[in-house]
Structure 1
Amino acid sequence: MAMSFYQTSAGSPVSMHRSRFLYILIATIVVFSVFFYSPLPDSVDHHRDALVQQLANTAKLGDFGNHTTPDKPVDSKSGHYVPTGLDDVKSQYAFATFLSGSSTDPNDHDPSHDPYFQATRILSYQLLHAPETRSKNASIPFIVLVTKDVPEEKRSRLRKDGAHVVPVTYLTADWITTDYPAWRDVLTKLRLWELTQFERVCFLDGDTILTGPLDDVFDDPAVHLHHTGTDNKAIKSDEAPLPRNYSFAGVPESKPIHKYPPTDENHDYPNINYLNSGFFVYKPSLDVENYYISLMNIPDRFNPELPEQNLFNYAHRREGNMPWTQLANTWNIHYPSIEDLNGGVRTLHEKWWAPVNEGLRPYLESWRWRMEGFHEARDSVLEQQKAKGGFRDFRWSD
């Protein structure tokens, strides 16, 4: 039986009427504050969006070179690889995102001014707590990979929100450089393939807003395990060996103006073979990660302007031995519109603080205020529990 939202750890009931009134009052205050807040667009994000469209049309592969593979974390006694923690998690599935300190101004230490951090908190709230979007299976965790420059204050807040925070070391290559700090660390996303405790992981970029539960994405036929091809023409001697099998399913990059649901027949994709790396489902595998890292260490093997996206598009090119498979076109859309939202797309790949389609701004921003109002009330309840000598965490019960 689900624990009541207002039940203390010792079992003593808190006045439901009083707690509801407190929550409604707090939520009302923060919701109305939206009218006094006007976030400014991030010019770097708009530049990236333009690059995405350009590369979808003109993606080219580069020349070859040498590579090295960095060491993997091993147990000091057995010498065997040690999967990332999460010993308390029993699910075969997980949701995950990535957060680095370079996504915001390094001189701004106020988490409330970091839109990517707030976006990660919104994801946590939607996946774990919000009644209309949370996972139907409460055992599925939400994992946030963080780099060393994400301060403990932010990590602690994410853990308090219910996320599993997993610190990871950087993955970089000298030939891959960028003038934009927010893109500096994206190749560290390859550490996602070290989550070998799970059969499948659904990755979502931090700038993603849900409209409903995502559990069924793990049942999409595109996420099935595939045998790796053996076409010798697609095998390069300077790359690490391909794995025996793999699973990598995603969505194509869509045009800013498209119909819902987008289709190739309606010319809604600049290149239906060009993957958008903001939403995908994969099977964690050290062999796949080793292959990716070998590509990362070969200068000009892929276009470095969008590092991880173009690495995936090379590794999982349709004419290669590990072609990516396409999820149903209703799971995720980049450059979403009101038509997409009304049509029922399950996730909107859009920045809540700087949407391309201004008509979506009230909907996107409302999730921030809901998230903050929920956690203010939740933190208050947990403090009451601790003050009475007990503590039990909870999700919002039906």
Structure 2
Amino acid sequence: MLTSEGEQVDNYYMYTSAVVYRLLHKEETRIKRNDIDVIVMVTEDVADWKLRGLHNLGAIIKRVNKITLDIKNINERWRNCYTKLRMFGMTEYDTIIYLDADLYIKKNVDELFDLANDIRNTTGRNDFFGAVTDSPIKINYNNRERKGMLNAGIMILTPEIALYNDLIELAPKIELYDKRFMEQGLLSYYYSDTNNLFNRTRYHLDPRYNAQWLSDSVFNEYYDKVYIIHQKLGNTEHAKSKQVQKDIFNSIVEWMSFANNEKIDISYD
């Protein structure tokens, strides 16, 4: 999902483009199946030249209207996050894997579609929702089904109109959930590990698919094990790995080289 306003190049446009590049063109990470679309949800403020750039990479552009709520004292970076809820109504798809823009994809993740299908077949339920608990990789890896708030950076879901309507109805009722975490708080309430008020089940996705806070102190232990690392460039997060910062930087340079059809030589150091 891209909600960047204005004409300037911004981090999230670069993150999104690098993710699309790795999903569609990078040999070790690209999608191998022919029944998977790569979609970028974009809001009305995204500049046309950014849409053209993403389209030229092979992404399907899906325009959606923002979902905004009047919530005070929120992190400005998260103000458009409720717009993620739009995908829960995209019933033209059997399964959606949602990926935040600020992800570094290390390995192919086609198998996540099979996981959703296998669980549906095993449980006999038509719905499926999977996510990793919001916690550092070290804690999650050693406690694979740790209860608590989910992390909405990677989600696997079955779209459904009734589900979408539930979420849209519940979103303004900020007294029910932890509004500080926006849609993440809402989804953690809806897919609760403890009370199951809405007859929905939450599958605890293996933390290797959303490695959070992979700092230098645990880098050697987990780097080769994980499929996707959740981390931003710059100083917006405290616990981060210098090597992962370099990986993210280099993935952006690779996308730029591919998009411009010429090698761009920029060193992280």
Matched residues in 2 for 1:208 and 1:344: separation? 16
Q: Amino acid of the residue matched to residue 255 of structure 1?
A: P
Partner of 2:69: 173
Shift of 1:344: 2.3
Matched residues in 1 for 2:92 and 2:12: separation? 27
Of 170, 182, 189, the residue aligned with 1:314 is: 189
Of 200, 207, 210, the residue aligned with 2:95 is: 200
Is contact 1:202-1:279 (8 Å) kept? yes
Q: Does 1:140 align with 2:27?
A: no
Alignment CA distance shift 1:118-1:311 (3 Å): same
**Helix, strand or coil: the match of 1:99?**
coil
Matched residues in 2 for 1:297 and 1:226: separation? 34
**320-329 vs 278-287, greater mean Cα deviation:** 320-329
Partner of 2:136: 255
Shift of 1:178: 4.3
Of 84, 103, 112, the residue aligned with 1:189 is: 84
Matched residues in 2 for 1:323 and 1:204: separation? 20
**Could you list the per-position Cα deviations for residues 131-173 of structure 1 after superposition, in whole angstroms to 9, with x for gaps in the alignment?**
1100011441111111111111111111111111111012233
Matched residues in 2 for 1:245 and 1:307: separation? 27
Matched residues in 2 for 1:179 and 1:313: separation? 18
**Could you list the per-position Cα deviations for residues 199-249 of structure 1 after superposition, in whole angstroms to 9, with x for gaps in the alignment?**
101011110011111100112269733999xxxxxxxxxxxxxxx852101
**Helix, strand or coil: the match of 1:134?**
coil
How does 1:15-30 map onto structure 2 within 5 Å?
A: none
Aligned residues: 253
**Could you list the per-position Cα deviations for residues 79-129 of structure 1 after superposition, in whole angstroms to 9, with x for gaps in the alignment?**
xxxxxxxxxxxxxxxxxxx11125xxx5xx322xx1111000001000000
Partner of 2:244: 360
Shift of 1:314: 0.3
Matched residues in 1 for 2:224 and 2:22: separation? 19
Name the % identity.
26
Matched residues in 2 for 1:282 and 1:221: separation? 8
Matched residues in 2 for 1:173 and 1:308: separation? 11
Partner of 2:209: 331
**Could you list the per-position Cα deviations for residues 229-278 of structure 1 after superposition, in whole angstroms to 9, with x for gaps in the alignment?**
xxxxxxxxxxxxxxx8521011111237x27x71228xxx9x63321110
Is contact 1:178-1:184 (8 Å) kept? no
Is contact 2:40-2:60 (8 Å) kept? yes
Alignment CA distance shift 1:224-1:210 (3 Å): same
Partner of 2:172: 297
Of 128, 143, 151, the residue aligned with 2:47 is: 151
Alignment CA distance shift 1:222-1:138 (3 Å): closer
Matched residues in 1 for 2:246 and 2:31: separation? 24
Is contact 1:128-1:138 (8 Å) kept? no
Alignment CA distance shift 1:180-1:274 (3 Å): closer
What's the TM-score, normalizing by structure 2? 0.85
Matched residues in 2 for 1:301 and 1:223: separation? 32
Is contact 1:171-1:188 (8 Å) kept? yes
Stretches of structure 2 that go unaligned for 5 or more consecutive residues are 263-269
Stretches of structure 1 that go unaligned for 5 or more consecutive residues are 1-97, 229-243, 379-398
Partner of 2:152: 277
Matched residues in 2 for 1:293 and 1:360: separation? 36
Matched residues in 1 for 2:95 and 2:244: separation? 31
**Helix, strand or coil: the match of 1:281?**
strand
Alignment CA distance shift 1:340-1:292 (3 Å): farther
Matched residues in 1 for 2:251 and 2:11: separation? 13
Shift of 1:197: 1.2
Is contact 1:99-1:150 (8 Å) kept? yes
Partner of 1:347: 228
